[in-house]
Amino acid sequence: MTIAVSQDLSPTLVLNADFRPLSYYPLSLWSWQDAIKAVFLDRVTILAEYDRAVRSPTFSMRLPSVVCLKTYVKPARHPAFTRFNVFLRDRFQCQYCGSPHELTFDHVIPRSKGGLTTWENVVAACSPCNLKKGGLMPKAAGMIPHQTPYQPSVHDLHNNGRLFPPNFLHESWLDYLYWDSELDPE
Ligand SMILES: [Zn+2]
């Protein structure tokens, strides 16, 4: 799974004041227009540039490829409970068979048995597995999720997001996206 990013748009990677991306998935990117606006508003520092420049009769500037915010933005401690974030926690894989196709959601304890729609009871599941499990309890169906569902931290989702890089990664971004994973191989 990739996010389509067009190189022609010369997107700018946006880092927090601690030099980490604001988010990994989707990767925090701005259009070069927004990046230049932020430079003039003195909100960001340019860390790397594209060769490409914008020019007017009175002005010339290379497009920023990496900027960092001057003011640290405190990340939320707990990510929102959304469909997307459940998929991201479960790495876009059915928690019963591992398939990445036809993903939907399954209540581990069925709603008909009092199961709630919460981080702890909802997992990514493909349509065939979802149908097969139906309204049965996990043991009765013989279907136990690979990973016990849990409320992820922002850090958990960032780590999973890194597994799904966008299709375009400018070379100047790589230091900021992957240096810590090289220092701390898992
Ligand atoms: Zn499945």
Q: Cα(4)–Cα(119) distance, rounded to whole angstroms?
A: 28
Q: Cα(113)–Cα(135) distance, rounded to whole angstroms?
A: 8
Using the mean position of ligand 1's atoms as its centre, give its distance from the Cα of residue 25 in Å. Answer: 23
Low-confidence ranges of the chain (pLDDT < 50): 1-3, 180-186
Using the mean position of ligand 1's atoms as its centre, give its distance from the Cα of residue 141 in Å. Answer: 13
Q: How many residues does the chain have?
A: 186
Q: Cα(17)–Cα(47) distance, rounded to whole angstroms?
A: 12
Angle 126-142-106 from CA coordinates, rounded to 5°: 30
Say what the pLDDT of residue 1 is: 42
Within 10 Å of residue 107's Cβ, how many Cβ atoms?
Answer: 21
Residue type, 38: A
Say what the pLDDT of residue 20 is: 86
Q: Cα(35)–Cα(41) distance, rounded to whole angstroms?
A: 10
Using the mean position of ligand 1's atoms as its centre, give its distance from the Cα of residue 153 in Å. Answer: 25
Residue 12, beta-bridge partner list: 30
Closest CA to 13 of 186, 178, 176, 181: 176
Using the mean position of ligand 1's atoms as its centre, give its distance from the Cα of residue 163 in Å. Answer: 20
Using the mean position of ligand 1's atoms as its centre, give its distance from the Cα of residue 122 in Å. Answer: 14
